[in-house]
Amino acid sequence: MSGTGDGGWRTIFEPFRIKSVEPLHFTTVAEREAALERTGYNVFGLAAREVLIDLLTDSGTGAMSAEQWAAIMRGDESYAGAESWERFTAAVTNLTGLAHVIPVHQGRAAERILFAETVKLGDVVPNNTHFDTTRANIEYDRGEALDLPCEAAGDTQAEAPFKGNIDVERLEALLAERALDVPMVFLTVTNNTIGGQPVSMANVREVRALCDRYEIPLFIDAARFAENCWFVIQREEGYADRTPTEVAKELFSYADGVTMSAKKDGLANIGGFLALRDDDLAARCRALLILTEGFPTYGGLAGRDLEAIAQGLEEVLDPEYLRYRVRTAEYLAQRCWDAGVETVRPPGGHAVYLDAGSMVPHLHRDRFPAHAVVVELYRVGGIRAVEVGSVMFGPAATHELVRLALPRRVYTQSHIDYVAEVVAAVRARREQVPGYRITWEPPYLRHFTARFEPIAG
């Protein structure tokens, strides 16, 4: 029996104790203001040492366990057929049931190799919602990346349990009309782009049935598969008594292929893989792998990285870890609501998305309200977050959000309490929060390097 989840305690119980610590970097408001001026009010330009709590991403920023560090020491750095490779490929095949495992340096390398071999001009790849790099890699091969999110996904306030689902009706209509142009159907679990929302197992099964009917392979972008499985256990009928490992195995049993960024639910700082059922496709992908990543038994990784991922894939399915993980996002969201700040609902697995409209209602869209909140979180509390709004998407933006992504096993409940306090403090002084104008921007992906200046009044 669990000492935490069953006991009704309010405390978020981090299911680990700390063996190795890393100091945080404290700065004064004056130092942070100087840093903001220097970077043109763009937090991507900050040095990490200028940041106190870094919520820029949950990717590659997690803490490894003692067992992972021990595995690192066991890393076999042989060029071909290393023991670490055997352990890695066994872990991935055991989890996914897929025979062919292709190690890569991170998720987007799996995407690049897969789409180079499968997508051509005139093709369309549907997904619940493509992550940016998935979309970019499909478009690079001149295919169309089509998002088919379910209806509830469009409403940030709808309390639906599985807002990450794909719209099965629209998928069916697409396949009925253009099945020959669809090299594969993708499902991204959890659905990062719409707020880390989960996909239900029922949805996966429906998509599998459609794929069978039209003889099209189903691929899963598994970056946050374990968090998705936890939501299935919590929210979907018939799964309450299943273990995360059982649910994950069922999830992957429906897939013909998996792309994975091990920087998320691999609990590693780098790495990923492409896992495939089809022998011929695997042979072609391996040939391309050798060209750009490395020999098939290490891909773009060191033997020690393979070890860390093999171990991470096991640890990430520990129910106590997942309880703490998902509870942390819920808790932070609740603290924000208590302070009068709205978020995407329900909170996702890896991040809380603040609705800038509820924090700085006086700022119009053309003054970049979500960007203004990002700057203020840094100025007031040294917190680094990401704008997901008009700066990132331009006029196509549908919402003005601020993503607070939670690195895995890095921050404790006190850190999260501090973040909530800073969010509340920013809201309390909202009248003083200025809007921004862009003073310089690059031709594409402007959010990374654009420069801004505050607009007085």
Q: Rule CB under 6 A: which residues touch ligand F0G?
A: 57, 59, 106-108, 131, 133-134, 188, 192, 221, 223, 261, 263, 272
Q: Which is nearer to ligand F0G, 270 or 420 (CB)?
A: 270
Q: Which is nearer to ligand F0G, 134 or 165 (CB)?
A: 134
Contacts of residue 68, defined as CB under 8 A and 6 or more positions apart, other chains included, come to: 267, 268, 307, 308, 311, 312, 315
254 is known as an active-site residue: no
Return the ∠ at Cα 309 (arms to 305 and 312), rounded to 5°: 140
CB of 298 to ligand F0G, least distance (A): 17
Q: Which is nearer to ligand F0G, 131 or 321 (CB)?
A: 131
CB of 125 to ligand F0G, least distance (A): 13
Question: Token pair for residue 81?
Answer: 């057929």
Q: Which is nearer to ligand F0G, 60 or 454 (CB)?
A: 60
**Nearest to residue 67, comparing CAs of 111, 16, 105?**
16
264 is known as an active-site residue: yes
Most distant pair of Cα atoms in the chain: their distance: 65
Q: Which is nearer to ligand F0G, 192 or 358 (CB)?
A: 192
CB of 382 to ligand F0G, least distance (A): 20
Q: Which is nearer to ligand F0G, 165 or 188 (CB)?
A: 188
Concatenate the DSSP letters of all residues of 88-137 into one string: HHHHHHHHH--SEEEEESSHHHHHHHHHHHH--TT-EEEESS--HHHHHH
Residue type, 98: L
CB of 343 to ligand F0G, least distance (A): 17
**From 145, 153, 222, 223, the catalytic residue:** 223
- Map tokens 């680094």 to a residue: 384
CB of 220 to ligand F0G, least distance (A): 10
**From 58, 123, 147, 221, the catalytic residue:** 221
Q: How many whole angstroms separate alpha carbon 343 and alpha carbon 334? A: 9
Q: How many whole angstroms separate alpha carbon 363 and alpha carbon 434? A: 8
- Map tokens 């820029």 to a residue: 56
**From 41, 115, 131, 321, the catalytic residue:** 131
Return the ∠ at Cα 388 (arms to 119 and 341), rounded to 5°: 145
364 is known as an active-site residue: no
Strands 386-388 and 100-104: unpaired
Q: How many whole angstroms separate alpha carbon 343 and alpha carbon 346? A: 8
**From 100, 130, 263, 447, the catalytic residue:** 447
8 A C-beta contact, residue 369 and residue 356: yes
252 is known as an active-site residue: no
Find the residue with minimal CB distance to ligand F0G: 107
131 is known as an active-site residue: yes
CB of 338 to ligand F0G, least distance (A): 27
305 is known as an active-site residue: no
**From 105, 163, 263, 264, the catalytic residue:** 264
Q: Which is nearer to ligand F0G, 106 or 197 (CB)?
A: 106
8 A C-beta contact, residue 405 and residue 347: no
CB of 148 to ligand F0G, least distance (A): 16
79 is known as an active-site residue: yes
- Residues with a known catalytic role: 79, 131-132, 221, 223, 264, 447
